[in-house]
A and B are shown apart, each in its own frame.
Chain A
Amino acid sequence: MNLGNLFSGPDMASGLMPEWILVLGIIAMIVVPNIGNATFRLPIPGKSWRIPYLIGGKRFALTGDPRLPKAIAAFTLFASFITALLSQIIDSGVGVAETCIAIAEGSVEVGSNWCGKDATVLKVDAFSRLMEMIFTAALLLAVLANWDRLPATAVNRIPTKKQHDEGVESRRLHRLLNNRRQVDFSLLILMVALGMSTVALSTNLFMLFVGLELASMASYVLISFNKETEVGPEAGVKYFIVGSVASAVGLYGLSMLYIWNGDLSISSLASAWAAGPNGMAIIGLGMMLVAFGFKVSAVPFHFAAPDAYAGASSPVAGVLSTASKGMGFVALMRVLIGVTLIDGGSEWTILIGAVAAVTMTWGNIAALGSRNPKRMLAYSSVAHAGYMLAGIAAIGALGPGDGSQLIATALIFHLVVLVAFKLGAFLVISLLECDNDRGNQLEHYYGLARRDPLIAISMMVFMLALAGVPPLSGFLSKLMMVSGIISSTVGDVSGATLSDAMGSLSWVFWLAILIFINSAISLFYYLRICVVMFFEETDRMAVPRASMIRITIMLCTMGAVVFGFGPLADVLALAANDAALALFG
C-alpha cells in the first residue's frame, strides 16, 4: 500500500484521518485523566473481593498530573496537523488528492467519484486541508503557550511536584491544581478544532452550520474561562448572547434557503442559484451573511469582539482573531463563492463592498484611540476583516476567473500568515500578563526594548507585519490582494483621457485605494507600540521568563519573516493557489 494512501486514500479511515485523530484525542481526554484506582467490590457476603475498573478513585501520579491534558491536546493537534500536511505533500499516486464523503440513500459512501454530486457532505481537497492546518496550528500554538500555566489565570504557573508536596502554594492554587480544570480547557480546545475542521470540510450548508456551532459554543466557554476575574465571564456571556442571536438569524436564513431549494448541498444550491434566485433565497442569503459576519467581526456585528478579546486570556483571544476568523471566512467563501458567485456581478457585491469599506475604516479609526493593546489588536482584527471582505467583494464583481482566483489565493495566504503575526502579538501580551496581569495598558510596554530586546523585536516584527511593511509576510498578502484587485479592474479600462479612464474604472478599484489609505492610518497605532517599546523610559524590571510562551513567540516571529519572501513564501503561495483552485472547483 502506498504511504500516501494512508493519509488521503479513498476510504473513510484515511480520508478523514485528521478528524479521526481529533475524535480519538477527545475520547482520550475524557478517559485518561480520570484513570484512578477505583475498584468494585463484588457483592459476595463475607468476601471483600475487589475488581479494579480504573475510572475514578484516587488517580495515579501520571494521570493526575496537571500537565497531562495539555500534553494530550498538544499531541492530538500536532498529529492532526501533521497528517493534514502529509496528505498534501506525499504523493498518493492519484494526482491532487480529493476524497468525498456522501450520504446516499441512507448509507455512507466514500470516494472521489462522489465529488460534485449533491449527496456529498464532506470534501477533502487542498482547500480544506490547508484550512485544517491553519486551525490546528493556531490552536496548537495556543495550547503550547499555556503549557505550564493555569488556564484560569495566565499569571500563575502550574506548581512543580515539589512545591505541591510542600504545600507552598495557596489553597486556591491547590484547588486549581486539580487537573479537571486543565481537562476542561484542553477538551474545549479540541472541540473547537473538531468544529473548525468540520467547517473546512463540509460541502453541505447544514453540516457547515453544525461545525460552526460546535466551534462557537466551545469558544464561548473558552472566553469566559477566567471565571475568577471580573471581565472574563461578562465578556463570554456578551459574546454568547450576541453570537447566539446572530446564529439564530443565520439558521433562519438557512431554513429559508431549504424551503426554496429543498436541498442544502452547495452544488445543488449553486445550480439552482445560477438559474435565478427568488426573493426568499435572497433574504435567506442576507440572514446567513449576518451569522458569518458576526464570526468574522464585520461591522455592525463586531461590537462584542473587542470586549471578548479584552476579557479572554490572550492565547484564546489570539485563537479567536485567527482560527475563528478563518472559520468565518471559510463559511463566507463557501456560501458566496461556492453558491452564489455568478458571471457579471453577483447580487451581494455591493453589500459586501460597502461592509468592507465601513469595516476596515471603522476598525482602524477605533483602534487609533485605544490605549489597551488587546482592544487595539481587536480593532485591528476588525480592520483586517475589512481588507479580506474587500477581496471577496472584488471576487463578486469579477465573477469566476483568473483574477478571482488570484484574490482568493491572497485571502487564503493572508489567513495562514495571520496565524503567525496576529497570534504572535497576542502571545507577547500573554507573556507580559504573566507579570501580574500587566499587559493591557500601553504603559506596560514602555521600554520593553531595554527590558527584553528579543521580545520587543518580535513584537515590532508582528506590528510591522500587521501594518503590511515589506519584506514581512503581511506585506506579501496585502500586495497580492491589492495587485489582484487593481490589475483585474484596470485591465478593462478604456478612454481617451485620464478622466474618461478613471470614470470607466470599476468601483472595486476604489476599494483597493481604500485599503491603501487604511494601511496608512493603521501604521499610526502599530508604530505607536514600537515607539513606546523603544523610546519610552520605564523603571519596570525584566519580563517574566515563561519559556514556553517565548518559544511560541519565536515560532511566530519566524513565520512572520520567512513567509514574507524567499523560498518558503513561494511554497506557501503555491499551496494557497492550489487551495484557491480547489475552492473554485
Chain B
Amino acid sequence: MGGHSKAEWNLLLPVLAMVSFPGIRMFMGFEAIESAFLIVAVPLLIFPAILIIGQMNKGEDWWKDQLKEGGIVALAGLMITLSLTVWLIVEFLVHHADFGAQGIILDWIHFEVLGANGEWVTSTLSFGLWIDSVSLTVLFVAAFLCFLICWFAIGYMTTDHQNEDRNHRFFAEFVLFSMGMFGMVLADSFLWLFIFWEIMGLCSYLLIGFYWEKPSAAAAAKKAFLTTRVGDVFLMVGLFMLYDLYHSLEFAVIFGDPTLGGTIQGSDLQWPLILMFIGCVGKSAQFPLHVWLPDAMEGPTPVSALIHAATMVNAGLYLVARMFPIFSEASFEGALSDVAMLIAWIGGITAFMAAFIAFVANDIKRVLAYSTMSQLAYIFTGLGAACWFANEGYEKYAILAFGAALFHLFNHAMAKAMLFMSSGSVIHEMHHAHEHAHGDGDEGDHHHFDPQDMRNMGGLASKMPVTSTAMMLGSMSIIGIPLIGGFWSKEGIVGQAWNVYLKGGEMILFPALLVLATAGMTGFYMSRMWFMTFAGAPKTEVVDHVHEDTQWIKTPLITLSIVTAFSGFILACGHFVKWLAKPDDAHFMTDLLKHPVDAILYELEHAFLPEDNTLKVVGWTAILLSSCLGPFIAARLHGGKLKEGEVATPMVGWLVNLSGKAGKTDVSELAEGGFATALHNRLYIDDAYEWMISKTLLPLANISAWIDKNWVDGVIKGIERGSQWISTWLRQFTTGRASDYLLMTAIGMLIFVGILWGVI
C-alpha cells in the first residue's frame, strides 16, 4: 500500500484533533462531570448526521475517499467520547470521590400516578447521570472498544465492494449502538437504562441483518431480536414490580434505602429481581435464551466484535451488577440468596454447555461466539457468588467476587474484541486471497469456498504475523494462562464460587464443578482454534495467497495485544478488584506506584497461594487444566509444524514448534460419533425451540391473524366508514344559506336561555 497508506493516515488527523475536546471544555471552565452528558449527546447527534449526509452523498468521491463513507465521522465522534471518558476517569481517581447520582440533566414532565393505596404519587421523567467505579469501568470498556472497532471497521467494511454505498448505514447504526451502551451505563434510573437497553436491541437487529438480502442474515436478525425480546418482556414486568414497590425507578431512591424506610421486605424483591435477571439472560445470551448469539455471527465481523465484546452482552452483566446494592442491604440478609444461587446456576450451566459445543465448531467466528457465551457465564457465576456473599453477610468475600466478576468483564471484553477483529482479519484476507487465486467472476466457485471455515486454513502463522500474535495473546487471556489478562479474574471467580460452597452455600457445588471443568475445556477449544488456523500444514492452496496488508486492520490489533498482555497484570496488582466494589479505600494504583514490589507480591500470593487449603487445590487444578491439559490435547489433535520453508515470527514460532512436538492422535472416529453430531446441532436446543414454536405459537398466531383480519380490521373499517358517514351527515347542516344559520342561532339562543332558566 505504501504511498497510498500515507494518504489514508492523513485522514486520521481530524480524528486525532478530537483528543483536544476535553481540553477545550476544561478551558471553557467546565468540570468533567458537567461534560459527561456529551458522551451520550455527541453520538446521538452524529447518528443522524451520517445517515442523512450519507444518503444524500453516497457514491460521491469525497464521501468515499475523504470520509470513508462516514467512518471518519463516526471515529471522530467516538474519539470525543473516549477522551471524555478518560477525563472523567482521571477526575474520578484524582478526587477519590464517589460521584454517585449526578442530578438531573433533562427534566421534562412531572406527573401523578394513582398508587395502589389510593394516594397520588408524583413521578418525573428526567434523565440524570449515575457514575461510580462500576459504570466507569463498563463505560471505559465500551468507549475504548467502540473506538478501536470503528477503526477496524473502516478497514474491514470499506474495502469490500459488496458494502459499497451502504456503509453510511453501517456507521450510523454503529454510532447509535454505541450511544445506547453509553447511555445505558450512565443512566441514573432503571427506566432510562431500559430505554437505552432497547435502543441497543434495535441496533443489534439492524446490524446483524446488515446483509438483509441474505436470507440467513435476515433470519438471524429476527431471531436475535425476538429472543432478546422474550427476556425484555420479563425485564419490563420486573421493572413494573420494582416501581410498584418503590414508586420510582431511580437508583438514588432504590439504592439510597432499599428497604424504603423499613416498608419493604427482602422476600418482596425476590420476583422482581428474578424477572430482571431473565432480561439479563436474554441480553447476555445465557442458557436457555442463548440461541440467538451463534446465529448473530451473520452480521459483519466488526458487528460481532461490537455486540459480543464491547456493548450488548455486557449490558446484562451491568444490570446484574447494578442490583448488587439490593443484595448487600443488611436487613435483607438471607432472603435473596436463592436469587443469587439461580444466577450462579445459570452461569455454570451455560459455561459448560457453550464450551462443549465449541469443541466441534469449525467456523472460526462460531468458536468465538460460544466462547463468549461461556466466558459471560463465568462472570454470571462470579456475580451470583458475589450476590450470595453479600446477602449472607460476608462482605469481604462479596467484594472479592464482585470485583473478580467485573474484572473478568474487562479482561474478556478486551481479549474478545481483539479475537473477533483477528478472526475478521483472517476472514478478510482469506476472502481476498481466494478472489485473487480464483478470480472474481466465478460465482459458482465463490459459494463453495467458506473463508470462515477453519478446515480451509492452517499454517497461517507465517502469513499473518500480527494477527497470529494477537490471536495467541487473546486466546491466552481467555484460557487464563498465568499472569496474562483473564487469569487474574478467572482464578478469582472459580475460587470464590468454591468459597461459597465452603461457607455453607451447598447448592453451588454443581455450578462450581462446572466452571472448574470449563476452565480446562476453554484451554482445549481456544487452543484448538488457534492451532487449526495458524499451525500445521496449509489445508487448502488459498492459504499460499494470503497477505496481511490492510493497514486499518492492524493498528487496533496491535493496540489491543499490548493492552491484553499487560493490563491484567497491572490492574490486578493495582487492586482493581477491590476498587470496583469499594472505590474509597482501595488505594487503586497508588500502592502499585509507591510500593511496587509489595503490591505485586501481595496479589501474586493471593492468586497462587490463598489461605484456605481447598481453595489452593481448586486454584491449582484450574491452572493445570486450563494451561496444560487443554492446550496439550489440542496440540496433539490439531497442532503441527509449518510447511517446509515457512518461518513464523519468533513471537508465535515457539508455540507452533511446541505443538509439533506434542505428537498426533487421530480422533476422527470420535468426531463422527453421535455425541459430536449432537454438539454440531447445538444439543438440539434450537430444534426443540423451533418444534415448540411450530406446535404452540404458530397455530395461535394464525388464529389471531384471522381474528385481526376479520374482526379487528372489520371493526376499525366499520368505525372509519361510520365516522365518515356521520361526518357527511353532520356537515349537511352547514347548508351555506345564511337563513339556516340564523335559524340555528335562534334555536341555540332558546336552548341557552332555557338551560340557564331551568337551573335556577
Q: Which residues of A contact B (CB under 8 A)?
A: 237-238, 241-242, 245-246, 249, 279, 282-283, 285-287, 289-290, 293-294, 299-301, 303-304, 306-307, 347-348, 350-351, 354, 362, 365-370, 471, 479, 483, 487, 521, 524, 565
B759 to chain A, nearest CB (A): 5
A241-B738, A300-B748 given; A368·B723 CB < 8 A:
yes
Instruction: Select which of A294, A307, A368, A479 is within 8 A of B727 by beta carbon.
Output: A368
Are B753 and A237 neighbours in the complex by a CB distance under 8 Å? no
Chain A residues within an 8 Å CB radius of B112? 483, 487
CA distance A524 to B727 in the complex (A): 13
**What are 22 contact pairs spanning A and B, CB under 8 A?**
A238-B741, A241-B738, A241-B741, A241-B742, A245-B745, A279-B760, A282-B753, A283-B757, A286-B755, A286-B756, A286-B757, A300-B748, A301-B744, A351-B755, A366-B731, A366-B734, A368-B723, A368-B724, A369-B724, A471-B108, A479-B109, A524-B723
Are B753 and A283 neighbours in the complex by a CB distance under 8 Å? yes
Chain B residues within an 8 Å CB radius of A300? 744-745, 747-748, 751
Q: B111 contacts the other chain (Cβ, under 8 Å)? A: yes
Chain B residues within an 8 Å CB radius of A307? 734, 736
A362-B730, A366-B730, A483-B111 given; A238·B756 CB < 8 A:
no
CA distance A487 to B121 in the complex (A): 12
CA distance A470 to B741 in the complex (A): 37
Chain A residue with Cβ nearest B757: A282
CA distance A306 to B759 in the complex (A): 32
Instruction: Select which of A283, A290, A304, A351 is within 8 A of B741 by beta carbon.
Output: A304
Given contacts A282-B760, A286-B753, A347-B756, 11 further A-B contacts (CB under 8 A): A238-B736, A242-B738, A242-B745, A245-B745, A290-B752, A300-B745, A303-B734, A347-B760, A350-B759, A369-B724, A369-B728
Are B738 and A286 neighbours in the complex by a CB distance under 8 Å? no
Chain B residue with Cβ nearest A491: B120
CA distance A306 to B727 in the complex (A): 14
Q: B260 contacts the other chain (Cβ, under 8 Å)? A: no
CA distance A158 to B741 in the complex (A): 37
A362-B730, A368-B724 given; A351·B756 CB < 8 A:
yes
Residue with the greatest number of chain B CB neighbours at <10 A, chosen from A282, A351, A483: A351
Q: B733 contacts the other chain (Cβ, under 8 Å)? A: yes
Are A351 and B727 neighbours in the complex by a CB distance under 8 Å? no
Chain B residues within an 8 Å CB radius of A348? 756
In the A-B complex, the 10 residue pairs with the closest CB atoms: A369-B727, A286-B753, A300-B748, A368-B727, A303-B741, A286-B752, A286-B756, A351-B755, A300-B744, A238-B738
CA distance A242 to B748 in the complex (A): 12
Chain B residues within an 8 Å CB radius of A293? 748, 752
Chain B residue with Cβ nearest A354: B755
Are B742 and A285 neighbours in the complex by a CB distance under 8 Å? no
Q: B726 contacts the other chain (Cβ, under 8 Å)? A: yes
Chain B residues within an 8 Å CB radius of A368? 723-724, 726-727
A296 to chain B, nearest CB (A): 13
Chain A residues within an 8 Å CB radius of B752? 286-287, 289-290, 293, 351
Chain B residues within an 8 Å CB radius of A483? 111-112
CA distance A249 to B120 in the complex (A): 47
A285-B756, A290-B748, A347-B756 given; A369·B731 CB < 8 A:
yes
Q: B749 contacts the other chain (Cβ, under 8 Å)? A: yes
Instruction: Select which of A303, A471, A487, A524 is within 8 A of B744 by beta carbon.
Output: A303
A248 to chain B, nearest CB (A): 10
Are A365 and B744 neighbours in the complex by a CB distance under 8 Å? no
Q: B244 contacts the other chain (Cβ, under 8 Å)? A: no
Chain B residues within an 8 Å CB radius of A289? 752
Chain B residues within an 8 Å CB radius of A286? 749, 752-753, 755-757
A290-B749, A487-B112 given; A237·B738 CB < 8 A:
yes
Q: B541 contacts the other chain (Cβ, under 8 Å)? A: no
Are B723 and A521 neighbours in the complex by a CB distance under 8 Å? yes
B interface secondary structure, majority: helix
CA distance A204 to B58 in the complex (A): 67
A238-B741, A487-B112 given; A350·B755 CB < 8 A:
yes
B750 to chain A, nearest CB (A): 9
Are A365 and B756 neighbours in the complex by a CB distance under 8 Å? no
CA distance A574 to B733 in the complex (A): 42
Q: B740 contacts the other chain (Cβ, under 8 Å)? A: yes
Instruction: Select which of B730, B731, B747, B759 is within 8 A of A347 by beta carbon.
Output: B759
CA distance A370 to B109 in the complex (A): 35
Are B745 and A283 neighbours in the complex by a CB distance under 8 Å? no
Chain A residues within an 8 Å CB radius of B755? 286, 350-351, 354
Are A290 and B745 neighbours in the complex by a CB distance under 8 Å? yes
CA distance A362 to B748 in the complex (A): 15
Chain A residues within an 8 Å CB radius of B727? 365-370
B174 to chain A, nearest CB (A): 26
Chain A residue with Cβ nearest B725: A369
Are A242 and B757 neighbours in the complex by a CB distance under 8 Å? no
A287-B753, A365-B727 given; A301·B745 CB < 8 A:
yes
CA distance A410 to B459 in the complex (A): 76
A348-B756, A351-B755 given; A370·B731 CB < 8 A:
yes
Chain B residues within an 8 Å CB radius of A304? 738, 741
Residue with the greatest number of chain A CB neighbours at <10 A, chosen from B112, B724, B734: B734
Chain B residue with Cβ nearest A298: B748
Instruction: Select which of A237, A242, A362, A487 is within 8 A of B742 by beta carbon.
Output: A242
**A-contact bits for B181-222, CB 8 A (1 contact / 0 none):** 000000000000000000000000000000000000000000
CA distance A237 to B723 in the complex (A): 32
Are A301 and B748 neighbours in the complex by a CB distance under 8 Å? yes
Chain B residue with Cβ nearest A494: B118
B656 to chain A, nearest CB (A): 61
Instruction: Select which of B111, B120, B726, B733 is within 8 A of A303 by beta carbon.
Output: B733
Are B756 and A282 neighbours in the complex by a CB distance under 8 Å? yes
Residue with the greatest number of chain B CB neighbours at <10 A, chosen from A300, A304, A306: A300
Residue with the greatest number of chain A CB neighbours at <10 A, chosen from B724, B728, B736: B736
Chain B residues within an 8 Å CB radius of A366? 727, 730-731, 734
Chain B residue with Cβ nearest A483: B111
Chain B residues within an 8 Å CB radius of A367? 727
CA distance A219 to B726 in the complex (A): 32
Chain A residue with Cβ nearest B111: A483
Chain B residues within an 8 Å CB radius of A237? 738
**A-contact bits for B485-514, CB 8 A (1 contact / 0 none):** 000000000000000000000000000000
Chain A residues within an 8 Å CB radius of B734? 303, 306-307, 366
A4 to chain B, nearest CB (A): 32
**A-contact bits for B714-740, CB 8 A (1 contact / 0 none):** 000000000110111011011010101
CA distance A293 to B746 in the complex (A): 13
Chain A residues within an 8 Å CB radius of B741? 238, 241-242, 303-304
A286-B756, A290-B752 given; A245·B742 CB < 8 A:
yes
A441 to chain B, nearest CB (A): 16
Chain B residues within an 8 Å CB radius of A238? 736, 738, 741
A339 to chain B, nearest CB (A): 14
A290-B748, A370-B731 given; A565·B742 CB < 8 A:
no
Chain A residues within an 8 Å CB radius of B731? 366, 369-370
CA distance A143 to B727 in the complex (A): 34
CA distance A1 to B109 in the complex (A): 43
CA distance A348 to B723 in the complex (A): 31
Chain A residues within an 8 Å CB radius of B742? 241-242, 245
Chain B residues within an 8 Å CB radius of A370? 727, 731
A235 to chain B, nearest CB (A): 10
Chain B residues within an 8 Å CB radius of A249? 745, 749
A571 to chain B, nearest CB (A): 15
A364 to chain B, nearest CB (A): 9
B52 to chain A, nearest CB (A): 11
Are B111 and A283 neighbours in the complex by a CB distance under 8 Å? no
B275 to chain A, nearest CB (A): 27
Chain B residue with Cβ nearest A348: B756
CA distance A306 to B730 in the complex (A): 13
Chain B residues within an 8 Å CB radius of A245? 742, 745
